[in-house]
Chains A and B, each alone.
Chain A
């Protein structure tokens, strides 16, 4: 066992929290609790995963694994009891969460509200499930908690009383968010009702979490608040600056709700920090961000999980405590890294089957994490649910209604069989996207082909299938799929011009590519990834100034585009602007650490700047991320042989190059 770096760890989840909103509020002194956390610890972006669906993402945070391994693929799942569908439950999770591992290691562990966590798992501590906060009846009628909400059962009555009902709230709770609430005709406009529900729900979660912190022994506690995501889905369109399609009167009424939601969370955070004490390690994370500026979509696509289009690919991470650096920024974190980091803090080994890495750059000393093959085969009571745990169909129905209200799930209708089929299709579609996110296009392809065969009318299936074909070099198949969709739909979509443009680019037909991309630009100038693609086309055509202009435009639209930063790095390299090239490549790496080509470009820039050791480090990283990255090994051999006088390392890379060459020859033959 390694050295334990943390005495106790408090993990706080704020769904959809985003630095873009937080930073100006902290700068104005309006979020003092979070500011103290940031100033006394480290902070950074937390890159999300695709698809950005919260139950999948929060399970990746808690397991360190992608969804193809952990099994939570969707908002819903077929219900064995009611022969219909139900909200996704913890029984679908196939692997241990951090609290199971810590239970197994005899740590006192509590979990509140994690998504999904129903039915509550029998861990070594208290588990309050994500069904806890739902008020399913008016306040003057009984609204008991559903069976399985709390472990241990003996504490059910206690936690039942800690819940806050939306109808308990008064003007004192609503007016800070909507000062002119009195002007609203609540018969017609139900937004105040939703607002009260969000405030009450997160107050219930907070109440349970604070009770545990005040009254229970603990080593680890995880608490998840979904309210920022709900404030944002309900009210982000009213957030300043006013969007052109939002009426002035509604804007004036609701413009303070999102900001109010963040400030309320800061107040709750203040209490958590106060109860946790100074010697505790605190980690605050979000699963994704939320577009709050000109990138807010004007409309939400009418498709399952359509609201996820409002999500931004970067969430937040900040961490403070013993052995953590102070007032530092960390780069390259993603949400798979949280569980490996937690294990390292407890001095426990990381499973080699985990997809993340510990955030060792956060520590104030050199820490070398330990590894074991997997935690899944480590024996001992870990507090996971026994198989075939029954659930309450009524509770399932209420949770379903909330997902429908949020727009994440379509109303199933009377045809249960159809609802089940749709859920299974969605889960398969998300699984394919998980594979694509992991660069496992060969695994994604059969899943998408099957979906497309059954539902060729679904544009999103066709689009992803075509993309998959394209990456695998099957351009003819890709083109066939797109052309069929365009013909079927009789409807122009710039998305398809973008894809056809990329195919032409892959075929080295640069002129056609450019024409298609510029056509797409005319139709939808702010289409995601469009300007990056235009930049790449100009790069291929050797028109460096045009390429830089396109990438700069991409950055104006989205300053966090790692592709655009790296694109400018390439332009700079070609123009021998080496310092700038290094700087842009570093920007790209800061946004997405697992972006091998940016490490490679950084290595090239540093080599030209005669910073050979650092250049070798950059090439090494790119070669680790992409095994068999020939150009990187070639540069490494050159640097070790000619510049760093390390002939043993040069020889190692020569061996790798020989292997790559042999494989290529074999393939050719």
Chain B
């Protein structure tokens, strides 16, 4: 089993305790297109951020293709 596929306490749960713009930005940057369980575990904030990031990446991809 690939390590990144394991559910472990170290799975990505970004540190969002200090939700200043910078820390949220760095979290946002780290969101992969595929999402992750860690992001779902963040709840509303994680789900909304993942969807936004995915839409941005889709837009970028279709822009590049066109």
Q: Is the CB of B1 within 8 A of A179?
A: yes
**Cβ contacts A194-206/B at 8 Å (1 or 0 each):** 0000010001001
- In this complex, the interface size class of chain B, counting residues with CB under 8 Å from chain A, is 20 to 34
**Is the pair B7, A206 in contact by a Cβ cutoff of 8 Å?**
no
Smallest CB gap from B50: residue in A: A168
B5 touches A179 (CB 8 A): yes
Are A171's CB and B41's CB within 8 A?
no
Q: Are the CB atoms of A179 and B9 closer together than 8 Å? A: no
Which residues of chain A come closer than 8 Å to B32, judged between CB atoms? 172
Inter-subunit contact A171/B34 (CB<8 Å): yes
A209 to B40, CA, bound (A): 12
Q: Which residues of A contact B6 (CB under 8 A)?
A: 176
Given A29-B9, A271-B13, check contact A172 B43 (CB 8 Å): no
Residue of A nearest to B43 (CB): A210
Contacts A162-B47, A164-B47, A270-B13 given; does A264 touch B36 at CB 8 Å? no
Q: Which of A32, A161, A208, A264 contacts B37 (CB 8 A)?
A: A264
Interface centre among B1, B2, B9, B13 (most CB of A within 10 A): B9
Task: Select B11's contact among A164, A211, A267, beta carbons within 8 Å.
Answer: A267
User: CB-CB < 8 A to A171: which residues of B?
Assistant: 34
Interface status of A664 (Cβ within 8 A of chain B): no
- Considering the complex, give the chain A residue whose CB is closest to the CB of B47: A207
Interface of B, helix, strand, loop or mixed by DSSP = loop
Minimum Cβ distance to chain B for residue A179 (Å): 4
B residues 1-60 touching A (CB-CB < 8 Å): 1-2, 5-9, 11, 13, 16-17, 32, 34-38, 40-45, 47-48
Contact (Cβ within 8 A) A266 B9? yes
The answer to whether A207 touches B41, judged by C-beta atoms less than 8 angstroms apart, is no
Q: Are B7 and A271 in contact (CB under 8 A)?
A: no
Asked whether A203 and B47 contact (CB < 8 A) given A173-B40, A268-B41, the answer is yes
Q: Does A214 contact B (CB under 8 A)?
A: yes
Determine the residue in chain B with the shortest Cβ distance to A180.
Answer: B1
Chain A interface residue count, CB cutoff 8 Å, equals 35
Cβ–Cβ contact B45 & A164, under 8 A: no
B46 to chain A, nearest CB (A): 8
Tell me the nearest residue of chain B to A205, going by C-beta.
B43
- A388 interfacial contact with B, CB 8 Å: no
A42 interface contact, C-beta 8 A:
no
Q: How many A-B residue pairs have CB under 8 A?
A: 83
A residues 179-230 near B (Cβ < 8 Å) are 179, 199, 203, 206-211, 214
Q: Give min CB distance, B10 to chain A, whole Å.
A: 10
* Residue pair A270, B41 in contact (C-beta under 8 Å): yes
Which residue of chain A has the shortest Cβ distance to B19 in the bound complex?
Answer: A214
**Known pairs A214-B45, A274-B17; A206 contacts B1 (CB<8 A):** no
Residues in B whose Cβ lies below 8 Å from that of A305? none
Contacts of A214 in B (CB 8 A): 44-45
B22 CB → nearest A CB, Å: 18
User: In the assembly, what is the distance between CA of A207 and CA of B32, in Å?
Assistant: 19
CA distance A224 to B19 in the complex (A): 27
In the complex, chain B residues whose CB is within 8 Å of the CB of A164:
40, 47
A172 to B37, CA, bound (A): 7
- Write the chain B residue with the least CB distance to A259: B7
CA of A270 to CA of B46, assembled, Å: 14
Minimum CB distance partner of A179 in chain B: B1
Q: How far is the CB of B33 from chain A (nearest CB, A)?
A: 8
Complex contacts, A162 vs chain B, CB 8 Å: 44, 47-48
Closest to A163 in B: B47
Any chain B CB within 8 A of the CB of A263? yes
CB within 8 A of B35: which of A31, A170, A266? A170
Is A260 part of the binding interface, using a Cβ–Cβ cutoff of 8 Å? yes
Report yes or no: A210 in contact with B7, Cβ–Cβ below 8 A: no
Measured between beta carbons, the chain A residues less than 8 angstroms from B7 are 176-177, 260, 263-264, 267
- Chain B residues with CB under 8 Å of A199's CB are 37, 40
Bound CA span A527–B40, Å:
42
Taking CB atoms and an 8 Å cut-off, the chain A residues in 20-54 that contact chain B are 29-32
How far is B34's CA from A169's CA once the two chains are assembled, in angstroms?
8
The answer to the question of A609 belonging to the interface, with a C-beta cut-off of 8 Å to chain B, is no
Question: What separation, in Å, do the CA atoms of A141 and B13 have in the docked complex?
Answer: 32
Least CB distance, A84 to chain B, in whole angstroms: 35
17 CB-based A-B contacts, threshold 8 Å = A172-B35, A173-B35, A176-B11, A203-B40, A203-B47, A206-B40, A207-B43, A207-B44, A207-B47, A208-B44, A210-B44, A263-B8, A263-B9, A264-B37, A267-B7, A267-B13, A271-B42
Known: A199-B40, A267-B7. 5 other contacts (CB 8 A): A172-B35, A173-B36, A203-B40, A260-B7, A266-B9
A-B CB proximity, top 9 nearest: A210-B43, A267-B41, A211-B44, A172-B34, A179-B1, A175-B5, A176-B7, A170-B34, A263-B7
Chain A residues near B (Cβ < 8 Å): 29-32, 161-162, 164, 169-173, 175-177, 179, 199, 203, 206-211, 214, 260, 263-264, 266-268, 270-271, 274-275
- Which residue numbers of B lie inside 8 Å of A, CB to CB? 1-2, 5-9, 11, 13, 16-17, 32, 34-38, 40-45, 47-48
